[in-house]
Amino acid sequence: MIKDMDYKNEKTEIIEELDKNLLDHDYDGIVELDNSLPPWWVYMFYGTIIFAIAYSVYFFAYDGFSQKEELAREMEAAQTQIAKFQEENGASVDENTVTLLSDATALTDGKAIYDKNCVACHAANGGGGVGPNLTDGYSIHGNTINNLFKVIKFGVPEKGMIPWESQLKPEQIQNVASYILTEFANKNVEGGKEPQGEEIK
């Protein structure tokens, strides 16, 4: 009983306190209270105003940081990384994307690589020795630039040709493959090794 009385008294006090904040608005018996906002809400509201002013001044008055500038910086950084990667690993070319080169610089580089690494097995004139003849109209693994790039890159271990991918950059493999096809294909040098593989038609 005492608890019920205390509850009613407390409820009455609350209602009387609320009555002090009543506004004149009354809609079908529904009244509106003019309660004070919690301090945290008020401070947050002022904070948003201050932030909006600072944001506007920085971005609209002083042309501050923009997404376009961020994109430009990231693109520049990406280009730097690509250039570094290509410098360390060669251009992004493989057996699927390689193309036959014809410029003198690439062919000169290809000849230097051939003279250093291939002559022992294929002879200086491409006529073959331990390795097959590169000048006849026959081929074991195909005679396209893609076929040759793949053979040089992965080698033919079962026949003694090592893979060169760990020693030559992709662009170097492209250069030497282009040199072989440009310099030796269908030359049929005198004294060359007997044909191997299938005839290229």
Q: How far apart are CA 152 and CA 179, in angstroms?
A: 13
Which pLDDT score, from 0 to 100, does residue 91 have? Answer: 62
Residues of the chain with pLDDT under 50: none
Length of the chain, in residues:
201
Environment class of residue 157 by beta-carbon count within 10 Å: exposed (0-12), middle (13-18) or buried (19+)?
A: exposed
Per-residue pLDDT of 90-101, as tens digits, reads 667 889 989 999
Q: How far apart are CA 58 and CA 55, in angstroms?
A: 5
Which pLDDT score, from 0 to 100, does residue 6 have? Answer: 61
Per-residue pLDDT of 50-107, as tens digits, reads 999 999 998 888 877 778 888 999 999 999 998 888 777 666 788 998 999 999 999 9
